[in-house]
Chain A
């Protein structure tokens, strides 16, 4: 059964524009306007995939993107719902989840071994013995699962779009179109979101297109902004509606939300209800009326309302042989259709597609067999309340609708159409119009005469259709009865799980994975809830639907991620570094030179002559105000009240737990002004930290982050004073510019703050100046230093140099538990001063004494222990290495490591181990280079 029915007005395909798609290496014809699903159906493909667990064949079921049956790999992207995916010339389409092919999947034998996969089998089977799981898991993972993740780069980055409106209508069926048309016509700015590429919802498949065409035209003319192909997947606080479509993520903020999300048709549960050829009426109507494909020649329609008769007429008019099985005892033959009243489908038969059904009175053991190649389940549906429930709307069971409907809505939230229980087209449209008018009025756009119209609409909106009759349960017979197609959960498994005590929807869901698959309950909520109720001995009305959570429709992660942006900061001297061939590395958000020549050459130059490093990335704060001293005294355990103007003190900030947050230089540059430097990567966090406390302390002081405003260089080495004297007219003698001083003078003609401090352990100057002069000062320094053999040095050389001096790096050598006593900074804690951050914790820590200590060590240079290497004692882990480098000055490896406090003594032997390698090392508490600091002070 392939090919197309004769053309009819209103069909979706454009027969004048044929194209071809590549279906598993074969060429399949299609027309513009087709979806992949409809094109394949026309080509006679009835098996669209294999099921998740048992690898059973599955075919098109809903044609609306609400079930898992038609997921395919399209142009490399897995899990695309082929039934709604428009065709494009040459697109590559493959079915998934089968080996070697969907048509002959060898794993289909799993179906016969299903006794091995009871509900919760993930939790039960293969857990003992332990080793078995590691063997079995990869095999299970390969068989179960959906599609292949593409290995290549993700495609285009996605936009994130923010939309603002008075009224947002979610769902472009008839009710949604009516709401949008009214609200926009009244003058409210209105957005309508419709997930399909065409508006009309359920009416899209109907043979007569009058209502739909009229409402689409009206909505378009009203000025409403209609976003097609845009699927709302979540409602968040604000409220914000999140939707995917239009090439990215849409975030819609509106004052009023109108939910017109409709209802999803649901399958009935009977043995082999998952066979290809068992379809919902939505699929049949769309295939026949829109795509002109007849999905079967001999059809049995199971129904209890008008939907079934409409589908039956559609099929009959297209030339099929049709039986209607009506659940209602009183149903008579209508419209010349053959009707079997008071009956249901007891089971279906077939292997690769349905070949017959057994029909009989509910509860009977046997029935009459009717050969058929199509079974249509028509008119059973579940309102799509998920998005609505995310607003906080309360749902309650409605007997007439046999469904959970909204009974209480949050302010400014409206529900219209099938989601609100409307069962007639006219009722749904009236509800939509009414909500549109109400929302417009509420935002101050009430059109003249609205009151009268609303009166009339209210009466029409209250119109209800016939009560719903749902198919009865069928006794367990031959063949599986699927409640959840995504996860392959059968009614028998649900009953078994309920018998084990998992007897509420929430528990069943977690235990059996029912409704946890790609459809997220769209195609199974009704069956799952009803079966759960029966298994638990309660009624449908007493079950509670599971909590609605985003995403309601599948969302590509790329859409949520949006653009990938990696912030990247460069100092104002960056281009010069690049010109001189620096190799860069990341340091937080910054790009910094790792080395220029080789780190060894750079170290050698700094130790014997002079070097310069760009330290513009240092965090810098200006702290100014009458209570500046008070602020620092509270932030640091150090004392600053006695720091003279023009002097620098090393300080470390602690948190409430006495843990070191950061360290750096605090310079007094005036009576009530300080210049504070902090570690590059900590700047933003410290700004938050300091201003957090300031918000409570309310001291009379301003803290300004001037990191970007100032560039900084560290000029270091025995010849650095000579270079300085070329760069400035100021007196830079050791008497004028003392160790640990902060002086202001011009360097290369630029007003600078010069700190005589030395992280690298040599005579040195940290020069801070306005960052716009970065290149100028750098060039001047290189020029002045040339006669002395100056070299620029990078981070790697700096690390070696600082390690030779045992200067710690907070965050590298310390962690979230390190206190000042442990790292040898106990001297800076001034216990006799008034309260400061961490004081209480330090008192306890001081009393207990440190359990571990950060100590220096040396070991043989034949092996460089990596950071994180273990310190072991008699085979037991007792500590770890935080930094280690080869040092020419010490003629060995030098490093820092955490060891038990008792071992913090010179020459204690420790053993370092990593992987198979190990080395003997010796504790050294004094710096490896210039232990007395004579060079620093010179």
Chain B
């Protein structure tokens, strides 16, 4: 409820201004098997996660952050 996302364009903003884009995943895969993993599977692991957020009610840009999924702490 109180997560603040640091937008490089707009500064730290309430997460309600953003659209969650999910964990960062590879954009391509060497073979069909890996591509299946890329498209359908997520790690969803506790701990720091690289993920994308879209600043919907701000600059309308995607940004990538590292967020600890257990504490919501954002850092690198």
A residues apposed to B, CB below 8 Å: 234, 236-240, 242, 251, 253, 392, 656-657, 684, 687-688, 691-693, 695-697, 705, 835, 840-841, 844
Contacts and interface: CB of A to CB of B under 8 A. Distances in A.
Contact of A696 (B3, B27, B39): B27
Contacts of B21: 688, 692
A687 B19 CA distance: 12
A354 B40 CA distance: 64
Contacts of A234: 1
Contact of B2 (A253, A693, A840): A253
A688 B54 CA distance: 7
Max count, chain B CB within 10 A of own CB: residue among A234, A696, A697:
A696
B44 to A, nearest CB: 18
A237 B28 contact: no
A565 to B, nearest CB: 13
Contacts of B35: 840
Nearest 3 CB-CB pairs, A to B?
A: A238-B2, A240-B2, A236-B1
A513 to B, nearest CB: 27
Contacts of B3: 237-238
Contacts of B27: 693, 696-697
Contacts of A253: 2
A238 B60 CA distance: 23
Nearest to A838: B39
Interface in B14-34: 19, 21, 27-28, 32
Given A657-B39, A696-B27, A835-B28, A240 B1 contact: yes
A568 B45 CA distance: 39
Contacts of B56: 684, 688
B32 A692 contact: no
A237 B61 contact: no
A746 B34 CA distance: 52
Interface in B37-56: 38-39, 52, 54, 56
A97 B53 CA distance: 47
A684 B56 CA distance: 9
B72 interface: yes
A684 B28 CA distance: 24
Given A656-B39, A688-B54, A840-B35, A695 B62 contact: yes
B4 interface: yes
A684 B52 CA distance: 17
Contact of A238 (B4, B32, B39, B61): B4
Given A692-B52, A695-B62, A835-B28, A242 B39 contact: no
A691 B61 contact: yes
Nearest to A692: B62
B32 to A, nearest CB: 6
A403 to B, nearest CB: 27
A493 to B, nearest CB: 36
Contacts of A657: 39
Q: Which of B2, B4, B32, B72 has its CB near the most chain A CB atoms (within 10 A)?
A: B2
Contacts of A237: 1-3, 72
B34 to A, nearest CB: 10
13 contacts: A237-B1, A237-B2, A238-B4, A239-B2, A240-B2, A251-B1, A251-B2, A656-B39, A688-B54, A691-B62, A705-B60, A840-B35, A841-B39
A692 B35 CA distance: 18
Given A236-B2, A237-B1, A240-B1, A687 B39 contact: no
Q: What band does the interface of chain B fall in when counting residues whose beta carbon is under 8 Å from A?
A: 20 to 34
A99 to B, nearest CB: 40
A856 B67 CA distance: 49
Contacts of B52: 692, 695
A830 to B, nearest CB: 19
B72 A840 contact: no
Given A688-B19, A688-B56, A844-B32, 12 more contacts: A238-B4, A239-B2, A253-B2, A656-B38, A656-B39, A657-B39, A687-B60, A688-B54, A691-B54, A691-B62, A692-B62, A835-B28
A650 B65 CA distance: 37
A360 B21 CA distance: 66
A746 to B, nearest CB: 32
Nearest to B62: A695
A691 B61 CA distance: 7
A885 B28 CA distance: 43
A251 B61 CA distance: 27
B40 to A, nearest CB: 8
Nearest to B31: A840
B28 to A, nearest CB: 7
B25 to A, nearest CB: 10
Contacts of A687: 60
Contacts of A691: 54, 60-62
Nearest to B19: A688
Contacts of B28: 835
B73 to A, nearest CB: 9
Contacts of B32: 840, 844
Contacts of B61: 691
A692 B21 CA distance: 9
Nearest to B54: A688
Contacts of A705: 60
A242 B60 contact: no
Nearest to B22: A692
B47 to A, nearest CB: 16
Contacts of A688: 19, 21, 54, 56, 62
A657 B21 CA distance: 17
A234 B2 CA distance: 11
Nearest to A685: B19
Contacts of B62: 688, 691-692, 695
A705 B28 CA distance: 26
A844 B27 CA distance: 19
Kindly name the residue among B3, B39, B71 whose own CB sees the greatest number of chain A CB atoms within 10 A: B39
Contacts of A240: 1-2
A390 to B, nearest CB: 11
Nearest to A841: B39
Nearest to B3: A237
Nearest to A705: B60
Contacts of B4: 238
Contacts of A656: 38-39
B35 to A, nearest CB: 5
A696 B27 CA distance: 7
Contacts of B71: 392
A89 B35 CA distance: 70
Contacts of A693: 27
A688 B52 CA distance: 11
A411 to B, nearest CB: 11
A237 B1 CA distance: 6
